[in-house]
Amino acid sequence: MKHNIYLYYGFSSSIERKIELIKKHRFQGVFLFWDEGFPVALEKVREAGLEIETVHLPFDRCNDLWIDGDVGEKYAETMITAIAEIAKAEIPTVIFHISGSDNPPPFNELGVKRLSRILRACEDARINLALENLRRLDYLDYVYSRLESDYLKFCFDSGHANAFTRNIENFPWEKYGEKLICVHLHDNNGLFDQHLVPFTGNINWRLLAEDLKKVGYKGPLTSEAVFNNGSPEQEEEFVIAVKKALEEIDRYINL
């Protein structure tokens, strides 16, 4: 399986330094975040010959999707603008949060209509829209029950399943497994979303690997581990640790 890493994995180093270490330690690709720095990151990653698996759409105001009025419309239009830019770069998948916090605004048909427009932009561009598991799986269920498309997919986040819904060992794969197109792998203590390197928290990675194997996942193993307060001397050690962790998960899947 391919091994990918989040480009913005922490530390104060430049994009060039991160790319240097990512290539040195044999990652095949990265995933990016769409913001004002996206065009520069895109160019540098492409120049380095790394694959870009996905782009994460902005999520800090994701609850606006469900709110009546201009804020909701503006949020939807921002997502559609981002998708158009990502489409020009020929990146196959965007990651999308449909809710935030334990008590987001109630899901409703207005939000589904906005999401339908976002999905239609993805369909027109032939880009997958991968919805991520967060604190409230009922929002996923609501959307998946109302929208159908070959481009409407699922991104599994291990850290969220462990710390937010706390169901990583009995995750409802029967609902989402057929839509699974990508994974964000990171660890935590089961209480907070810490974005630790796999095997440094309390996730049972052997069991998770068995679940991924059962649902037939064959896509990249992608790390979303982040080390925000590391010293420059620790950076390469961190990248090496991420690579070793993905190799171990890969081994479990292929047992």
H/E segment holding residue 244: helix 232-253
pLDDT of residue 229: 86
Cα separation, 166 vs 58, in Å, equals 24
User: How many domains does the chain fold into?
Assistant: 1
Letter for the amino acid at 80? I
106: in domain: yes
Strand, coil or helix: what is 181? Answer: strand
What predicted TM-score, i.e. pTM, was given to this entire model? 0.97
pLDDT of residue 230: 84
> DSSP 3-state assignment of 126?
coil
Structural domain includes residue 250: no
| Tokens 């998948």, residue located | 93
Domain hosting 99: range is 3-157+165-184+218-242
| The pLDDT of residue 233 | 92
In the block, residue with structure tokens 């492409």: 46
Give CA–CA dist 168/18, Å, rounded. Answer: 30
Q: Check: CB of residue 122 under 8 Å from CB of residue 94.
A: yes
Domain presence at residue 147: yes
How many helices (H) and strands (E) are present in the chain, helices listed first? 9, 8
Mean pLDDT by 10 residues, the chain (255 residues): 98 97 98 96 98 97 97 97 97 98 96 98 98 98 98 98 98 98 98 98 98 97 95 95 98 95
* 139 CB-side CA count, 13 A: 27
Element (H, E) at 125: helix 109-125
Write the CATH number for 236.
Answer: 3.20.20.150
